[in-house]
Amino acid sequence: MEQTIFELSRPGRVGVRMPACDVPTKPLEALLPGVALRDELPLPELSEPEVVRHFVRISNLNYCVDKGLYPLGSCTMKYNPKINDVAVNMPGFARVHPYQPEETAQGAIEVLYEMQSWLSTILGMDAVSLQPAAGAHGELLGLMLIRAYHVHRGDGETRRLVLVPTAAHGTNPASAARCGYKVVDVKTNERGLTDLEHLKEQLAKNEGHIAGFMLTNPNTVGLFEEEILEISRLVHEAGGLMYCDGANMNALVGTVRPGDMGFDVMHVNLHKTFSVPHGGGGPGSGPVGVKKILEPFLPVPMAVKNDDGTFSLDSDRPLSIGKVGPYAGAYLAVVRSFAYLLHYGREKLPQISENSVLNASYLKAKLSKTFAVAYDRPCMHEAVFSLERLKKDYNVKALDVCKRIIDYGFHPPTMYFPLIVPECLMIEPTESESMETLDAFVEALEAIAQEAADTPALVQGAPYTAPVKRLDEPFAARNLDVAWK
């Protein structure tokens, strides 16, 4: 496409000169029909400093990874390298249009192709779709693929059950139900792992009806499923497929591949494991990887490399389930993650998982002197504690501790998930935090545990320094329109 200067040439407005980019010079009147043109846009008249101060002031009310530790378990909140912002602001990425002729967007499609192949390698899968917009969306796609597989083989109508552990993230049973499946529970044993005996029971009881098993590994209490090969074998033997909830990939990147554990299909969250901002910083992206048997059913389009070395978006896939989202996915989220992966490079990828496991293990070792570890086994990228004792002894709940840690300058960890651990705190420091930061966090929690013993009311009433005081939760739940009392 010709490289030109874009000028806003509406009468009565000063022409705004933009740097050379991929938008052709044409008067707006030539681009839009008359009815779509307005003479006036009633925007408030504000100076640049006023606008800047407004946004900086509201951004200061917020807490973010650029301000400090954000130790959410499960929903990995990683540092977002600034190089990612440089990448997404390049005009060829930022201004690419989904209806642009392919020959003018070769580099942009190449990034999609490369990302499909990097993720396939990292996950140990044969193909990857970048279309889903979130993890839950990827789960839905994964289950639709499982369904397409069974329907194609002729037992789609008899295989209507999906196994889900009781410890699973809420999106797992929700996605299964959304896809028309009935959920069958699998218990977690006292060691925090899938209860093999219960799994066998459920498989036997529902013989011929199991479509698949949705499992998170490392699982939702941060432990590696040691019996994963046996679990996969049992489920495959029963005619089901293995779905991996890859939200915990941070523990595995570059070290272990779910494809080698027997999983047939999985999603990853680019907005967790691969450093795209989340929690208001979106949009997200939840690519889905599959083994060969599911590849024909993947959504369209797929980025492909042609024999002559050019790249295209291929929609000629007769068995495809269709589309689960617009175009090729959340494009700039993919660009951010690709920049992040290139930033590490192939050789250094294992550092991501090694350091995240090291950091979590360090925290677990130090904090186990203060709080009870939910399952006393080597953790992976996150550690789970139960604060039941604190509640029994001083009536200080996990919620109170989380509110109080705000006063110490930290974002609270994940609490009350997974549901199977009472008064649960789930902490994931991620690989990018220093030992000093982790020590400061542990000291804060130790101080709060001491406060709980000495002056419980202090912890129960926190926070005192945040822009917003503790919400009156029962009031907020009953008065949704006036929650800010």
Ligand X SMILES: *Cc1c(COP(=O)(O)O)cnc(C)c1O
Q: Which residues bind ligand X (CB under 6 A)?
A: 74-75, 134-136, 169, 171, 216, 220, 245, 247, 269, 284, 286
State the minimum distance, in angstroms, from the CB of residue 284 to ligand X.
5
Please provide residue 87's backbone torsions phi and psi, each rounded to the nearest 5 degrees: -60, -50
Rank residues 216 and 359 by Cβ distance to ligand X and give the closer one. Answer: 216
State the minimum distance, in angstroms, from the CB of residue 170 to ligand X.
8
Residue 455 zone, left/alpha/beta (φ > 0; ψ -120 to 50; rest): beta
Cα 166 → chain centroid: 21
State the minimum distance, in angstroms, from the CB of residue 172 to ligand X.
7
Residue nearest to ligand X (CB): 135
Rank residues 96 and 276 by Cβ distance to ligand X and give the closer one. Answer: 276
Torsion, Cα 418 419 425 428, to 10 degrees, reads 10
State the minimum distance, in angstroms, from the CB of residue 274 to ligand X.
12
Contact 341, 274 (CB under 8 A): yes
Cβ neighbours, 10 Å, residue 255: 14
State the minimum distance, in angstroms, from the CB of residue 402 to ligand X.
18
Rank residues 169 and 404 by Cβ distance to ligand X and give the closer one. Answer: 169
Residue 180 zone, left/alpha/beta (φ > 0; ψ -120 to 50; rest): left
State the minimum distance, in angstroms, from the CB of residue 125 to ligand X.
18
Sign of CA dihedral 231, 236, 239, 242: positive
What's the CA gap between 220 and 246, in Å, rounded?
11
**If 0-12 CB within 10 Å is exposed, 13-18 middle and 19+ buried, where does residue 370 land?**
middle
Helix (H) or strand (E) holding 18: none
Rank residues 28 and 174 by Cβ distance to ligand X and give the closer one. Answer: 174
Rank residues 216 and 430 by Cβ distance to ligand X and give the closer one. Answer: 216
Rank residues 108 and 179 by Cβ distance to ligand X and give the closer one. Answer: 179
Beta-strand pair 241-245/265-267: parallel
State the minimum distance, in angstroms, from the CB of residue 463 to ligand X.
25
State the minimum distance, in angstroms, from the CB of residue 414 to ligand X.
9
Stated length of the chain = 485
Name which of 484, 448, 458 is nearest 469 in CA terms: 484
